[in-house]
Amino acid sequence: MSNIRRRTLLAGGVLTAAAGTGLLSLLRAPAFAKEITVEEVLFDPANPVLGNPEGDVTIVEFFDYQCPYCKANHPVLTETVEADGNIRLVMKDWPIFGAPSVRASQLALGAATLGRYEAANSALMETDGKLDETRIHEALKDVGFDVAALDRAYRDERSRWDGLMGRNSDQATMLGLRGTPAFIIGTTIYPGAMDAAALRDAVELARA
């Protein structure tokens, strides 16, 4: 007898909780309410473009400067893009490994303001292991950057770069991306690292 009563009570509780949750989602909805389109994901005007900006296929990579598989995969990716010659490469900063990742992204995007994004991006992708402020600065200094200048450049266009990273993160969530790296080639999502053959196949598929 008590079980039935208890069940009723709990039913009420769960319904209340569910209703509350639903309401909360509705209140939060505006943050996600804007539709995203393929255009926005592949051609975000704020995002630097590597490879051939006029290429007929776009490879988007959601990445983090501390994500081991992003970094391990990077040489394969750049070589493939270079060898093909007709690929737009859009590296989307999605810092998921905490503060050092965010810092690395900020400075690399600062380099974009200065027109030297590719050098900063490659330098940071070539780093070993976990990052911290010092290692990030060293990696950038090694390829001739003035860290203070990069920081200023980032801050000058802070709303642009923070907006971009915010959009990247929203897109990752909306696309249901599990983590980094995640590739979008053409209109297909490829989660996880890809070897050269897989990349070439995906590009071919996108062209077909």
Partner 1 sequence: MAADSHGMTVTTSAPRRFGHLLPLALFVLALASGLNGPVTAQETLFASTKPLAPRDAFELSVELQPDGGRVLSWEIAEGYYLYRDHLAVETIEGDVVPLETAPGIAKHDPTFGSVEVYYHRAEATFSQAPGAVRVTYQGCQENGICYPPVTDTLPAVAPASADTEPAASSPATSPGSGPGKVTATDGLADNATSRVQLAKDEGLVSDLMDRGGSALVLLGFFGFGLLLAFTPCVLPMIPILGGLLAGQGATLTARRGFALSGTYVVAMSSALALLGVAAALSGRNLQIALQSPWAIGGVAILFAALAMSMFGVFELRLPNAWNTRLSRTGTGRRGTFGGAAILGFTSALIMGPCVTAPLAGALLYIAQTGDTALGAAALFSLGLGEGVPLLLLGIFGARALPRAGRWMQTVNRIFGFIFLGMAVWLASRVVPAAAGLALWAGAMALLGVFLGGFDQLEATASPIARLRKAAGVSALFVATLLGFGAATGGNDPLRPLAGFRAASSAVPPEKEIAFSTIRSLTELDAALAKTEQPTLIYFTAEWCVSCRVIERRVWPDPGVETALVGMQLLAADLTEFDADGQALLDRLGSVGPPTMIFLDAEGREAPGTRLIGEPDPSAVVASARAVQ
Q: Which is nearer to partner 1, 86 or 173 (CB)?
A: 173
Output the smallest distance, CB 105 to partner 1, in A: 8
- The answer to whether 200 and 90 are in contact (CB under 8 A) is no
The tokens of 135 are what? 């290692």
CB of 74 to partner 1, least distance (A): 9
Which conformational region is residue 69 in: left (phi greater than 0), alpha (psi within -120 to 50 degrees), or beta? alpha
3-state secondary structure 4-29: HHHHHHHHHHHHHHHHHHHHHHHHHH
Backbone angles phi, psi at 103, to 5 degrees: -60, -45
Give the shortest CB-54-to-partner 1 separation in angstroms.
23
Residue among 94 and 145 whose Cβ is closer to partner 1:
94
Comparison of 8 and 115: residue with beta carbon closer to partner 1:
8
Task: Indicate the residue among 18 and 146 with the shorter CB distance to partner 1.
Answer: 18
How far apart, in whole angstroms, are the C-alpha atoms of residue 100 and residue 167? Answer: 19
Min dist CB 15 to partner 1, Å, is 7
The pair of structure tokens assigned to 47 is: 């995002």
Shortest CB 199 distance to partner 1, Å: 15
Residue type, 117: Y
Local structure of residue 44 (DSSP, 8 states): -
Nearer to partner 1, 147 or 206 (CB): 206
Q: Shortest distance, CB of residue 82 to partner 1, whole angstroms?
A: 20
What does each C-alpha distance from 65 to 39, 105, 145, 156, 187 come to in angstroms? Answer: 25, 7, 17, 22, 24
Q: 191 pairs with which residues across the strands? A: 182
Q: Which residue, 80 or 171, has its beta carbon nearer to partner 1?
A: 171
CB–CB of 48/117 below 8 Å?
yes
